[in-house]
Structure 1
């Protein structure tokens, strides 16, 4: 199995964000299975023609999202992220609901705000 990533140089999206998004998509879709060992930061940077710091930044963001895990000198692997992502999403949704209630917003107003934020994020 190979990591299939291309970085679009002319894109308005930062290279680290392109890398983060592509690895995340492949991990969540199963194209990169749980336990798949990712290339080293330096190795992937050389392969993609990126600075090592760019790849390291993407890896840190993916680890913070629970998509990958670093096992010290053993390397970096795709994590079982589904459960972690679902827990994080539930916590964020709960925090949003609590905040909306404290602000005195109705359920409909909170739902409308959430829908507007989702539309902005996904469009």
Structure 2
């Protein structure tokens, strides 16, 4: 399976983050279905022309987030918990929206707070 995840070498975003976020986006959107086998670390690194350690770090972070699972020599696959992760994130966002609305914050203020929290979580 050929997987193209765009990596912009001139971007200020580190390559591992570009790979991680690109795959996470595809998993969360359903473009990569549960059970889809991902390319090997070396295979994807070669395809993108970046170091295998870069891909390994992205895969590790995706695994920690529950979006992929590694099955030893069988490889890495889109995890079923990815569906659960997305559902939990939606629920958290709905709760956050209700709390900020109850506090009288504008949508712009609530988004600014959420963006700041996401930057700190990196």
**TM-score, normalization by structure 1:** 0.73
> What's the counterpart of residue 48 of structure 1?
48
- Shift, 1:109, TM fit: 8.5
The match for 2:103 among 98, 103, 108 is 108
Q: d(CA) in 2 for partners of 1:26 and 1:15? A: 17
SS in 2 for 1:77: strand
Q: Is the 8 A contact 1:9 1:15 kept in 2?
A: yes
Once the two structures are superposed, the pairs formed by residues 1-123 of structure 1 within 5 Å of their partners are 2-80=2-80, 81-87=82-88, 108=103, 115-120=111-116, 121=118
Q: Which has the larger radius of gyration?
A: 1
User: 1:32, 1:78 within 8 Å by CA — same for their partners in 2?
Assistant: yes
Residues 86 and 111 of structure 1: CA distance in aligned 2, closer, same or farther (over 3 Å) = farther
Q: CA RMSD in A?
A: 2.9
Q: Which runs of 5+ in 2 are unaligned?
A: 97-101
Task: Return the offset for 1:4.
Answer: 2.4
Q: Number of residue pairs matched?
A: 112
Q: Work out whether residues 27 and 67 of structure 1, in 8 Å CA contact, stay in contact via their aligned partners in 2.
A: yes
- Report how far residue 10 of structure 1 moved: 0.4
